[in-house]
Amino acid sequence: MQTQYKTPEESRVVLSMLMLPSHANFSGKIHGGHVLSLIDQIAFACASKHSNNYCVTASVDVVDFLAPIEVGEMVTLKATVNYVGNTSMVIGIRVDAEDIKSGTKKHCNSSYVTMVAKDEKGNTVKVPGLKLSTETHVRRFAREIRRKGLKRESAQVMKATNFNADEYVEQLKNHKVELN
């Protein structure tokens, strides 16, 4: 079977919605959990569109909350396939908010979600390759290769390290902890 390829644009998903008081936390800002739910939904939509299969969330690698979202702002989430493996895809998501009265826009969140394609029986299935035709496509794919490498290296270091708390006592004194 010949490998199929899709461009990131073919799977791109954009979602805009008004933030309501029911989405707010006790401080009157949009609850981070609500934003995370929207991120997961758009990651699912983008990955499913790319793979033509049901997809599940495997991991959420980076979630940077950069600015609060206010009640009454229009939030736009943009999701793009940045990287594909055999059965998984990394979806890059950008969240922007717009004050609908002034038109002022702000970047509120960036996230990277790994999704895995599944068939009707729950088995993983191969996903189409990614056709990289712009410098932005190549940069995003290359950055994801690097991010995956760093994650793997970090996991190996943490697994290989024999943790001895006594070795860290001096370092702990520089942090906000009380040692008994």
pTM, two decimals, is 0.89
Is 114 within 8 Å of 89 (Cβ atoms)? yes
pLDDT band, residue 20 (cuts 50/70/90): very high
Mean pLDDT of the chain: 93
Does the pLDDT of residue 146 top 80, yes or no?
yes
Does the pLDDT of residue 1 top 70, yes or no?
no
In angstroms, rounded to a whole number, what is the distance separating the alpha carbons of residues 119 and 126?
Answer: 10
Confidence (pLDDT) at 2 = 56
Structure-token match 């702000």, residue found: 106
The domain segmentation of the chain, as residue ranges, is: 5-131
Q: Output 168 or 19, whichever has higher pLDDT.
A: 19
Does the pLDDT of residue 150 top 90, yes or no?
yes
Q: What average pLDDT does this structure show over 10-29?
A: 96
70 burial (CB, 10 Å; 0-12 / 13-18 / 19+) is middle
In angstroms, rounded to a whole number, what is the distance separating the alpha carbons of residues 84 and 80?
Answer: 11
What is the SS3 assignment for 61-130?
A: EEEEECCCCECCCEEEEEEEEEEECCCEEEEEEEEEEECCCCCCEEEEEEEEEEEEEECCCCCECCCCEE
Does the pLDDT of residue 33 top 70, yes or no?
yes
pLDDT in tens, 95-116: 999 999 999 999 999 999 999 9
Q: Does domain 5-131 have CATH number 3.40.1390.10?
A: no
pLDDT band, residue 61 (cuts 50/70/90): confident
Does the pLDDT of residue 3 top 80, yes or no?
no
Q: Which amino acid is at 163?
A: F
